[in-house]
Amino acid sequence: MTPEIKNALLGSSPSKQEEKTAPPSQPRQKKVNKAAAAPKPKASAKKEKPVQKKEGKAKEQAKQQPRQSAKQGKEKSAGTGRQRNPRGKQDKRSRIPAKDQKPVRIYYLGGLNEIGKNMTLFECGDDMFIVDCGLAFPDDDMLGVDLVIPDFTFVERNKDKIRGVVLTHGHEDHIGSLPYLLKQINVPVYGTRLTLGLVEGKLREHGILNKAKLNVIHPGDVVQMGCMSVEAIHVNHSIPDAVAFAIRTPSGTIVMTGDFKIDCTPIQGEMIDLARFAELGKEGVLALMADSTNAERPGYTKSERSVGESFDALFKKAEHRRIIIATFASNVHRVQQIIDAAVHYGRKVAVSGRSMVNVVNIGMELGYLSVPDGVLVDIDVLNRYPKDQVVIITTGSQGEPMSALTRMAMSDHRKVVVGPDDYIIISANPIPGNEKTVGHVVNELMKHGCEVVYEKMYEVHVSGHACQEELKIMLGIVKPKFFIPVHGEQKHLHKHMVLAKGMGIPADHILISEIGKVVELTPNSMKVVGTVPAGRVLVDGLGVGDVGSIVLRDRKHLAEDGLIVVVASIDAESGFVVSGPDIVSRGFVYVRESEMLMDDAKRLVRRVLEDCADKNVREWGTIKNRVREDLSRLLYERTKRSPMILPIIMEV
């Protein structure tokens, strides 16, 4: 364990004075005047009741994020102060009155056994609230699909119980589906400033920003959700303003880490509030739901600051060449380090890619990006500057087909032409499944004569998720009674379960759940009690949910074997062929090079139609099936392929 982590943990120990004054029965929770909710949301968003803000003087710690803004002052209301349990006192969860021990139900609507589409619903009594509402990107077999969002069926059925949505951070897999949800149920949304800044852009695109009820929260704030409350806790991640949640329920406290890592030297803000997690552990935590993304990786995740050191070395190496850096648009810390390096070496910065431009604008507007005057230039005027005085920050680190870097590689970018004078850095590791597309982009860039730095050639990327030792620290300081690994594929969840067992949590107190499963928690039990409608809804253009398994099957069939269209006209009275049949091939064979096959197919279709006329078969479905079956048999015998066959028969 590093000295920084030890110091952070030591900061959680209560002073003697606090031991004397803190009532043992009072948890460390302060409910503050709702009017004290930090920076106001945008004027365009409809304001909901502001968030409860904690009052009272918390013990000041070095390098700890302030719990209050200057506007809130330090007034303390009787009975609402934030207080700690004295050492040696009985576990908080064992002293909940029996009459108040309502079971808590957790509905997993996304984010388990997959990466992305994170969405979890909590229920206690007649109250429900949602944590995160993310999307996933389509698999290779989802042809034509743009996005994958959770199934909101169960949420819509219980819309009268939903008290709000709380967001852990601003990544797409946690906020991307929010516009689609708010079109169905307009409930209050709570998130940190940057998170809501990114949400506002999405809601504006969907035309629902003016109707949205957005509420800014800060670490330390408490949001009341009926009989439950949610406290935000500062964590480190690859995007600023990420938080975890301590969810207080009548049955006990549930800690949900969200995406996190322990970064002792973050680029912006303070290191993760380990002291608060430790205090919750002392008070007693019923269950921990922790990020499992890097549960397979040993050791610690490197600090984001190490990437800045690599950038410094690479900028020196680039010398007289133009530098192009591709990274995730949402990684504001990475963008800031690129800008810092550009300023240091006297280079101008241009931004390419719609999502990158959007995030940079929001980051600058909200103060999360510091860009000196005159450094940022429009990409349209890039050619006015010598190449050795320019840095381009772009999207496309995952080889996305329409991203800016891919278009540069394919000579399809309207404003940037790459060549031997370009030094290109891909500051991201390929997401599993994207290795081939990233490799293709790298190859194309090298064909243009570019020098490309990618993957682990240099330390140009670090993860935003905790590795094994950090996960152990979280388990060790929170000391949960029950443990539920979340946010990952089955292999990640299983490995996290093994780590928890090694930390002394009994096997029967650990649960790996699935999407659609309902987990019920009481002070003494954790069990699966049922299932609810859950899964994936496909978004294709403006259509939401109108593309299902049958449509995908047809698209796959068309993509693999092509299409044959048979057109013929028959006499309305006799049923014999009047004109045709004509055959149109799309994606099957080139007609001019397969005239013999097409002629045989026409003769076969004519025989089938005449045979139906002779036998007085006039039912359209029967005629079309006969044409489809006989023609399919002929084509397979001749080509070993089975195209989709679409008969079009008209009566005249």
Among 15-24, 201-210, 398-407, the range of highest mean pLDDT: 201-210
Residue whose C-alpha is closest to residue 497's, from 476, 489, 300, 505? 505
Q: What per-residue confidence (pLDDT) applies to 41?
A: 41
Determine the Cα–Cα distance for residues 536 and 551; give it in Å rounded to an integer. Answer: 15
From the list 333, 465, 487, 496, the catalytic residue is 465
Q: Is the distance from CB of 54 to CB of 36 less than 8 angstroms?
A: no
Of 21-35, 244-258, 426-440, minimum mean pLDDT range: 21-35
List CB contacts of 276: < 8 A, sequence separation 6 or more.
12, 233, 234, 246
Q: Which residues are annotated as a binding site for substrate?
A: 461-465
pLDDT in tens, 259-281: 999 999 998 889 999 999 999 99
Tell me the pLDDT band of 405, cut-offs 50, 70 and 90.
very high
**Single pTM value for the model:** 0.78
Token pair of 18 as six digits:
């606090």
Token pair of 152 as six digits:
């909101």
**CATH tag for 5-298+464-534 (out of 3.30.70.250, 3.30.300.30, 3.60.15.10, 3.40.720.10):** 3.60.15.10
Crossing angle of the two packed helices 332-344 and 354-366, in degrees rounded to 10: 80
Q: Is the distance from CB of 487 to CB of 260 less than 8 angstroms?
A: no
Tell me the pLDDT band of 559, cut-offs 50, 70 and 90.
confident
CA 346 to chain centre: 35
Look at the alpha carbons of 635, 641, 642, 648 in this order and tell me if their dihedral is positive or negative.
negative
> At residue 513, what are phi and psi to the nearest 5 degrees?
-95, -175
Question: Average pLDDT for residues 606-614, to the nearest whole number?
Answer: 84
Q: Is the distance from CB of 55 to CB of 245 less than 8 angstroms?
A: no
Question: Average pLDDT for residues 599-606, to the nearest whole number?
Answer: 87
Determine the Cα–Cα distance for residues 86 and 95; give it in Å rounded to an integer. Answer: 15
Token pair of 266 as six digits:
């973050």
pLDDT in tens, 581-593: 888 888 887 777 7
Residue whose C-alpha is closest to residue 176's, from 138, 135, 207? 135
From the list 173, 273, 291, 561, the catalytic residue is 291
Determine the Cα–Cα distance for residues 203 and 214; give it in Å rounded to an integer. Answer: 11
Which residue, chain included where needed, has tokens 């380990």? Answer: 274
Q: What per-residue confidence (pLDDT) applies to 568?
A: 86
Q: What per-residue confidence (pLDDT) applies to 421?
A: 93
Q: 226: number of CA atoms within 13 Å, CB side?
A: 19
Q: What are the respective helix, strand and coil percentages of the chain, to the nearest 5?
A: 35, 25, 40
Question: Average pLDDT for residues 377-388, to the nearest whole number?
Answer: 90
pLDDT above 80: residue 58: no
What is the residue-averaged pLDDT of the chain? 82
Q: What per-residue confidence (pLDDT) applies to 46?
A: 45
Determine the Cα–Cα distance for residues 181 and 150; give it in Å rounded to an integer. Answer: 9
pLDDT in tens, 227-238: 999 999 999 999
Q: Is the distance from CB of 179 to CB of 202 less than 8 angstroms?
A: yes
Determine the Cα–Cα distance for residues 304 and 511; give it in Å rounded to an integer. Answer: 32
pLDDT above 90: residue 552: no
Tell me the pLDDT band of 569, cut-offs 50, 70 and 90.
confident
Q: What per-residue confidence (pLDDT) applies to 343?
A: 94
Q: Please tell me which residue, 623 or 467, carries the higher pLDDT value.
A: 467
Q: Please tell me which residue, 39 or 327, carries the higher pLDDT value.
A: 327
Determine the Cα–Cα distance for residues 48 and 210; give it in Å rounded to an integer. Answer: 12
Residue ranges of alpha helices (H) inside 86-166 are: 153-157
Tell me the pLDDT band of 475, cut-offs 50, 70 and 90.
very high
Known catalytic residue at 465: yes
Q: How many CB atoms lie within 10 A of CB 174?
A: 28
Q: What per-residue confidence (pLDDT) applies to 409?
A: 93
pLDDT above 50: residue 22: no
Could you report how far apart the first and last alpha carbons of the chain are, in Å? Answer: 85
Token pair of 212 as six digits:
């949205």
Residue type, 155: V
Number of H helices, E strands in the chain: 17, 25
pLDDT in tens, 536-550: 888 877 767 667 677
Of 294-308, 578-592, 596-610, minimum mean pLDDT range: 578-592
Tell me the pLDDT band of 627, cut-offs 50, 70 and 90.
confident
**Assigned CATH for 545-651:** 3.10.20.580
Determine the Cα–Cα distance for residues 80 and 78; give it in Å rounded to an integer. Answer: 6
The domain segmentation of the chain, as residue ranges, is: 5-298+464-534, 305-457, 545-651
pLDDT in tens, 30-56: 443 333 333 444 434 444 444 555 443
List CB contacts of 528: < 8 A, sequence separation 6 or more.
511, 513, 517, 518, 519, 520
In terms of DSSP bridges, do strands 517-522 and 222-225 run parallel, antiparallel, or are they unpaired? unpaired
Tell me the pLDDT band of 6, cut-offs 50, 70 and 90.
low
Determine the Cα–Cα distance for residues 393 and 353; give it in Å rounded to an integer. Answer: 9
pLDDT above 70: residue 413: yes
Q: Please tell me which residue, 432 or 581, carries the higher pLDDT value.
A: 581
pLDDT above 90: residue 431: no
pLDDT in tens, 456-467: 667 788 999 999
Question: Average pLDDT for residues 142-152, to the nearest whole number?
Answer: 83
Q: Return the CATH fold of 305-457.
A: Rossmann fold (3.40.50)
pLDDT above 50: residue 395: yes
Which residue, chain included where needed, has tokens 């990475």? Answer: 334
Which residue, chain included where needed, has tokens 């950038």? Answer: 311
List CB contacts of 20: < 8 A, sequence separation 6 or more.
none
Tell me the pLDDT band of 324, cut-offs 50, 70 and 90.
very high
Of 278-282, 533-537, 549-553, 566-570, minimum mean pLDDT range: 549-553
pLDDT above 80: residue 345: yes
Question: Average pLDDT for residues 130-149, to the nearest whole number?
Answer: 83
Q: How many CB atoms lie within 10 A of CB 83?
A: 20
Known catalytic residue at 291: yes
CA distances, 32 to each of 231, 470, 620, 643 (Å): 12, 32, 72, 67
